[in-house]
Amino acid sequence: MGQQIVECIPNFSEGRRLEVVDRIVGAIQAVPGVTLLDRSSDHDHNRSVLTFIGEPPAVEQAAFAAIQMAAGLIDLDKHKGEHPRLGAADVVPFVPISGMTMDDCIAMAKRLGKRVGEELNIPVYLYEKAATRPERENLENIRRGEYEALKQAIGVDPAREPDFGPASVGKAGATVIGARPPLIAYNVYLTTGDVSIANRIARAVRHSSGGLRFVKALGLLVEGKAQVSMNLTDYSHTSIARVVEFIRREARRYGTGIDHCELIGLIPQTALVDAAQWYLQLDQFEHDQILESQLQNASAQTALPSEDFLNALAAGTATPGGGSAAAYSGAMAAALVGMVARLTIGKKKYAQVQDRMQEIAALADAARAHLAQAVAEDAAAFDAVMAAFRLPKGSDEEISIRRAAIQTATQAAAEAPLRVAGLAADVAEWAAEAAESANANAITDAASAAAMAHASVHASGLNVRINAASIDDQAAAQAWLARLEEFHQRAERCLGRVQDALRDRADLS
C-alpha cells in the first residue's frame, strides 16, 4: 500500500465574519502535513466549507484543532443563516483518497468524535458510513429542527442521545462527524425570487421525495434568487448534466429558468468530463484524449530534478531551512539505497541476497516518498509556529487561544523532524546492510547513503531539541529526546558497520 491520503471537508456555521474563518483556517494550517485545497464562504448561508488533505494522523489533528477553534469563536445562539445547522463546526466528513479504505475513515470519525466529546464537551453524532444507527446515516435526519430543536430535545428524547459527549449543548451546539464517499455540493439559481418554486423543484429532484438517486436537495432564497441547493452523493451514477437538465425541465413548468449554477468546494475532474461528454454527445470519447492529461503524463515520465529547492534554501527566508534540508538529505540517502539494491538484483553473483534486496528497494522507495514530503512539512511546521505567535493577544480569551495555538504548533514542529530522524535511521540500517552484502561495485554509494542518513538524523535532532525545550508538556519532550537518542545511536552504529564493510570488501579503510 502506498502513502495514505484522506480528505476532510468540514462545514462551519460562519460565512460573514471572515476574520473568524481565517482563524479556523489558521488552526488547520498549523498542523504539519496538511494541505488546504479550498475555502468557500457564503454570506446568505452564513456558512463556510473548507477542504484539506494529508495523511490520517495529521488530518485528524487538524480537524480537531478546527473544531476547537470554531467552538470558541461561534455562538449558535446568535447565528442566523439560510443553511440548516446544528453546531459551530456543523459537519466534519472524512473521505478516502489514496491508500485508505472506508473502514479507515470510519475509525478516524469515531476517534475524533470521542476526543471532541471528551475534551471539548461537545455532543457528537456519527453519520453516513460511520453511523451507529440506521436513521443517522442521513445527515438531514440528525439535523432536523436544527440547533434550536436539539437544545430542547437532547437529554430528554432518547433518539437525540449523542454518540459521544454530554447530553446537553452549549453555544457551540453539536458536531456531526462521519465518513463518506466524495460528493459534489452544487447549487442552481433560478430566474425568480419565489422560493416556493425552488422548494417544489427540490422536492421533485431529491431522491427521498421520489426524484433522482444520489441527489439531496432543498430550496433556499439566496441573494434575492430562489436556489435549489444540492449534494450529489454519487456523480458516477447520477451525473451533474442529468440533474441540471431535470431542474431546467421542472423550472419551465413554473415559467422560470436557470439563471446560473454554483459549485461549493472542489469537484472531481471526471465529473466535469462526464458532463462535457454528455452535452457534446461524444459517445466514443476516451479520457486519454484530453490534451492536458497527456501532457501531465509526459511530464511525469520525463521530469528531471530542478534547482527549485536549492534556490529556495539559499533565499533569505526562514523557510525552507535546516529541517527541510535534513529531510532532503534523508530522501537522497533513501534514493541511493534503492539504487544499490537495484544494481544487485538480477546479478548471479548475488543470487543469495536477491529477495532481501527487493525488500530493501521497496522499503527505500517508501521512505524516500515520505522524506520528500517531509521537506515541505518541516517548512509548514515552522510557518505554523510563526503564525501562532502572530495571533492577537489583547483579551484574556485571545491570550489563551494564542498560547494553546503556540503549544500545538510547537509540538507539531518537534514531531515532524522526529519522524524524519526515525526514517533516516531506518535508511542508515538498509545502507549498512547494502554495504555489507549488495553489489560490491556500488559499495561507496551505499556508504554515501549511510553518511547522508546519519547527517539527516543529526540535523533533524537539532530541531527536535530546540522545540522540546519550548513545550509545556515536558513528559512528552523527554519521550521525544529518548527516541531521538535511540535513532542517533542506530545511525552511529551503521556508520561503523559501513567502515568495516569498506575495509573488508573494498580496501578503503
CA distances from 488 to 257, 375, 499, 500 (A): 68, 20, 17, 19
Beta partners for 48? Answer: 12, 41
- E-assigned strand segments in 158-292: 175-179, 184-190, 215-222, 225-232, 258-264
83 catalytic, yes or no? yes
Which is the catalytic residue, given 42, 163, 378, 445? 378
Which is the catalytic residue, given 45, 79, 83, 458? 83
| CB-neighbour burial class of residue 259 (10 A; exposed 0-12, middle 13-18, buried 19+) | middle
Strands 89-98 and 47-54: unpaired
Q: Which of 403, 418, 410 is nearest to 384 (CA)?
A: 410
79 catalytic, yes or no? no
Cα–Cα–Cα angle for 397, 402, 406, rounded to 5 degrees = 150
CA 469: distance to chain centroid? 29
- Give the separation between CA 310 and CA 332, rounded to whole angstroms: 14
- Give the separation between CA 243 and CA 215, rounded to whole angstroms: 8
DSSP per-residue letters across 45-82: TTEEEEEEEE-HHHHHHHHHHHHHHHHHH--TTT---S
Query: Hey, what's the cell of 497?
Result: 558497520
Provide the total of helices (H) and of strands (E) in the chain, helices listed first: 15, 11
Q: Torsion angle of alpha carbons 409, 410, 411, 413, nearest 10°?
A: 90
Q: Which of helix, strand or coil describes residue 324?
A: helix
Task: For helices 18-29 and 56-73, give the axis angle rounded to 10 degrees.
Answer: 150
What values do phi and psi take at 52, rounded to 5? -140, 155
Q: Which residues are catalytic?
A: 83, 378
